[in-house]
Structure 1
Amino acid sequence: MKINRKSILSLRNYSLIVGLVAASAFAFQSSAWSMGGAEPAVVIPAPARDEAPGSSHSEIALFSGGCFWGVQGVFQHVKGVTKAVSGYAGGDAQTANYDQVSNGDTGHAETVQVTYDPTQVTYGELLHIFFSVGHNPTELNRQGPDTGTQYRSAVFPMNAQQSEVVKAYIAQLNGSHSYSKPIVTKVESNGHFYPAEAYHQNFLNDNPNHPYIVVNDLPKIKELQQYFPHNYREQAVLVKE
């Protein structure tokens, strides 16, 4: 039986999901590996430019890097992050739901809203993690086994300072040839965020044995711990219902 992320989640009934996943895990995992599996981390320099220090203890950043399960999972393990929520950005409110976004024609990207304390972790540090272990910024409209504009690499700056920092960082990374291919990450202005359905929240934390998570996302957590030990936190900060 061929199963993919959308067909699994369309069932909605988790008891059925568990049975289907158990029966098809090996086939799904083999298929995922054949399509590349987890993207390896890339060791890259930190941003030369970062946000200026301020008095705020709570700011928001929006990151889109493929399936939001893994991106959310990574940021939930970053010190200074107080909340990481899976959702949608780039489209309209009426299409901000998984069924429609999965069609790839809504303008939305699967996005994670990161709330963070800039006195503990800066916007530049979050970008460093995002571009290194969070996803592969050279893949156009895809990440690993997932394809479509909803899986595009994008950053939605929340203010002018964030916009300047991320644009400067992309130029820095391209200029240093940190990757074998050019960065395709879009810096987008339509940053209205819509939280995803409850069953998407904390998915990596709650389903560590899910074959998709095992193949594509758990390696990101290990890489975060390996390459960013100063930023890594063992206990994930979870979304509360």
Structure 2
Amino acid sequence: MRKSTIAALSLAICAGSLVGCVTPGSQVRRTPSPGEILANDPTTGCMKRLSEDPYIITHLADKTGIGKSGQPTLQMLTDKSRATGEEKEALSAYSAARDQCLSLGANYRRANMPGNIVFDLESSGQRTTLLLAKLYAGELTYGEYNSARLENMQKLRGNLTASDQQNAQARAADEDRRRADAGIALQNMQNQQMLLQQQQQQQQLMLQQNRPRTTNCNRLGNQMNCTTY
């Protein structure tokens, strides 16, 4: 998985795990494989529709970055306010809809992504759920929430990079094993062919040695001449 793959996965989880994070899709040319995964992941479309919901945008966009791309602004990172009653209602609605979006694509991701990548994404999503709960409960200010979600995304990208390296190493090791197995299989086949040739040669030699022989003898005077063939 190259950098474009990690960027594509980050884009997917940017929608699924948290809101208002950097969306590198416009800057990175995606390879067909991750692009197909994102296009067919039910979570991607679901989260896109959720981030465009007028009710969610009206109550949460400016303070949480929902529906926006790019880094949290300085104002968002230093916001000392906590969620109001109306904002809590919006947070509750968003969190419930987000959980449904994540569930829609869970089986798809497990079937189409490496296990460690799925683990990274699900772990990031769980951390997001906890942050949303703390924001809703008033345990976090918006500034604290935005700082924590930014750290969450940075951690996710680091985990994706590490998992990608592990997968690349595993693929390389698997390829080495396949080449070694193919070499052993070829050597075994060659040995069997040589053994078969030796057996055939021995059989031919035995047939020549054991074939019926005819001896003709002719007497000429006092001499007997015999020929065996």
Q: TM-score, normalised by structure 1?
A: 0.28
Structure that is richer in strand per residue: 1
Please report the TM-score for the alignment, with normalisation by the length of structure 2: 0.29
Would you tell me which structure has more helix in proportion to its own residues? 2
